[in-house]
Amino acid sequence: MYAEASSLHGAAMQRLVRGYEADPDKQKDLLQEIHIELWKSFASFDGRCSLRTWVYRLAHNVGASHVVRSRRLSSRLTDLEKLEDEMPGIDEKQVDRRLSARIFDLIRRLKPMDRQIIMLYLEGEEAGPIAEVTGLSPASVATRIHRIKKALKQKYIEGGADARS
């Protein structure tokens, strides 16, 4: 069962890790921790939810625990114009990576539940499956997605001031 879960949802777990940790080395550690917990969890998996829901719930719980353990102040974000001024030869791929990093930095600043919801939404999940993972109602999830997207957009436009809701 672990091999199936890892094969089907491994890429999603890697992307989710980016929402919980900025440091690439720590991302690897967190991903390994998720895989270990996933392996151990199948002793209690009873099939009351889908395998995908089980994997996402576990990955987000491990990620949230990681954040609690390693809470630290995040560095001030640099706006794109300043990046371009400092690095006149910057290419489009570098800009895309920096913008992606900036968005993930804003996501990491969200409250744990909001972070979990938006990461699942970015994985293409709809309100119903996200509700299964989070324990909220689908209507509540849909409302939160709307509010989180609005807050992230505003913080992105403002240049990355504290995005906590």
My answer on whether 79 and 27 are in the same domain is no
Q: Which of 36, 54, 74 represents a domain boundary (last residue)?
A: 74
My answer on whether 69 and 79 are in the same domain is no
Query: 32-67: string of b/e by CB count within 10 Å (b at 16+)?
Result: ebbbeebeebeeebeeeeeebbbbbbbbbbbbbebb
Looking at residue 152, what is its pLDDT? 87
CA distances from 98 to 61, 89, 152 (A): 27, 14, 16
**Domain at 2, CATH number:** 1.10.1740.10
Q: How many domains does the structure of the chain reveal?
A: 2
Query: Would you say 17 and 27 are in contact if contact means Cβ atoms under 8 Å apart?
Result: yes
Looking at residue 59, what is its pLDDT? 92
My answer on whether 69 and 83 are in the same domain is no
For residue 49, give its domain range.
Answer: 1-74
My answer on whether 62 and 90 are in the same domain is no
Looking at residue 20, what is its pLDDT? 86
User: Would you give per-residue pLDDT tens digits along the chain (165 residues)?
Assistant: 889 999 999 999 998 898 888 889 989 999 999 999 999 999 898 888 899 999 998 998 898 888 767 664 343 334 444 544 544 554 555 556 667 778 888 888 899 899 989 988 888 888 999 998 888 999 999 999 999 988 988 888 777 444 444
Q: Quote the pTM value.
A: 0.56
My answer on whether 67 and 17 are in the same domain is yes
My answer on whether 129 and 152 are in the same domain is yes
My answer on whether 66 and 23 are in the same domain is yes
